[in-house]
Amino acid sequence: MAVTVTHSTVVVVPDDGTSPVGSDEWNANHTVTGLATVAETGDYNDLINTPISGSGRDLLTEDRTYYIATDGDDSNDGLSALTPCETFEHVFVDIICATLDTAGFTVTIKYADGAYTEKALVSRAWLGGGTLAIEGNLTTPGDVSISINEDGAGAIDIRSSPAAIVIGGFKVENAGAFGFGLYNDLSNPVFVTGAMEYGDCGFAQILGAFWLFANYEISGDATYHWFGSSPAYYYADSWTVTLTGTPAFGAFITIFGGARLEYTNMTFIGSATGIRFVVEALGQIDTGEAGLTYLPGNQPGYCRSGGLYL
């Protein structure tokens, strides 16, 4: 069985010459290039979401930046602040994943100042490794807001990571009752290397494995500031957290399910209400023995079911 991949469509042709297999799904104008063959028992869904090397890809020889603006147009090339695209989906899916071989270089998606209502969803692999940088305003993160209303999703939402992902310079908000600001569905960490602002989120302002390498501000309420439930390593050390307007939390940090958070030498400016921490089911919060009142909140934290607070 052959899978013919052209510049505009994918056609699966059985060896016996009968009608194409899965034509309803495959002939949907997937934008991929090259030629591939798979066994008759192959997983065609995986092939759709896997970059295929071949003719037609733009092979990078240096780092590249694509620009997004609220007044942009997805018919633009996105290669300068004067010709920005409008949507993250177009830049990431239709340009980076579909047309580039990044060849180990960094590709940056740079947002102009403005208020955005489309989540930044990294949902598939790109070809060539390197680093994907998602960047707003690193000096004043509140000037680039991503505000959505969606359960089970993040304003910045990481579902696939074949190489390093770094983010910074955003205010994130999610009005969904089960909504997140930052979301990482993977066990390998995403690196937050620029200043951030966390606004109102229905569930968690940060959910999943992130490593924080910058000061940040909390200006909104959430059930949890940081929530970790998978056996991964979460990290922040020696940064300043500014709490504006006394944010309210069910619990500032909740860690369980074998997750480990190292959250050491942090400086907190301002105050919050809610339980300081919850650690259970073999989770661990390492504060460097900073004490039970180290984390923001006005109610004591607790451990149970093998959870550790150090």
pLDDT digits (tens, 9 = 90+) for 26-47: 333 333 333 233 333 344 344 4
pLDDT tens digits for range 213-225 = 999 999 999 999 9
The residue to which tokens 């390492």 are assigned: 286
| Nearest to 200, CA basis, from 247, 141, 157 | 247
276 and 150 together in one domain: no
202 and 285 together in one domain: no
27 and 165 together in one domain: no
201 and 241 together in one domain: no
The whole-chain average pLDDT of the chain stands at 87
Residue 13 pLDDT grade (very low, low, confident, very high; cuts 50, 70, 90): very low
- Do residues 144 and 111 lie in contact, with contact meaning Cβ atoms separated by under 8 Å? yes
Mean pLDDT score, 113-123: 97
35 and 182 together in one domain: no
pLDDT of residue 258 exceeding 70: yes
pLDDT given at position 213: 98
- Do residues 171 and 138 lie in contact, with contact meaning Cβ atoms separated by under 8 Å? no
Cα three-residue angle 232-234-239, rounded to 5 degrees? 175
251 and 139 together in one domain: no
* CA-based radius of gyration for the chain: 22
Whole domain around residue 50: which residue ranges?
1-56
230 and 181 together in one domain: no
41 and 163 together in one domain: no
pLDDT of residue 102 exceeding 70: yes
pLDDT given at position 280: 95
Residue 1 pLDDT grade (very low, low, confident, very high; cuts 50, 70, 90): very low
pLDDT given at position 24: 39
SS (H, E, C) the chain: CEEEECCCCEEEECCCCCCCCCHHHHCCCCCCCCCEECCCCCCHHHHHCCCCCCCCCEECCCCEEEEECCCCCCCCCCCCCCCCECCHHHHHHHHHHHHEECCCCEEEEEECCEEECCCEEECCCCCCCCEEEEECCCCCHHHEEEEECCCCCEEEEECCCCCEEEEECCEEEECCCCCEEEEECCCCCEEECCCEEEEEECCEEEECCEEECCCEEECCCEEEEEEECCCCEEEEECCEEEECCCCEEEEEEEECCCCEEEEECCEEECCCEEEEEEEECCCEEECCCCCCCCCCCCECCEEECCCEEC
227 and 308 together in one domain: yes
Count structural domains, the chain: 3
173 and 251 together in one domain: no
pLDDT of residue 22 exceeding 90: no
Query: Which residues fall within 8 angstroms of residue 292, CB to CB, at 6 or more apart?
Result: 276, 300, 301, 309
pLDDT given at position 225: 98
Q: Is the whole model's pTM more than 0.85, yes or no?
A: no
pLDDT of residue 271 exceeding 80: yes
pLDDT given at position 25: 40
45 and 192 together in one domain: no
119 and 165 together in one domain: yes
Q: How far apart are CA 259 and CA 277, in angstroms?
A: 14
pLDDT given at position 16: 45
For the chain, what percent of residues have pLDDT higher than 90? 79
> Looking at 184, 214, 244, which one is the last position of a domain?
214
- Do residues 269 and 242 lie in contact, with contact meaning Cβ atoms separated by under 8 Å? yes
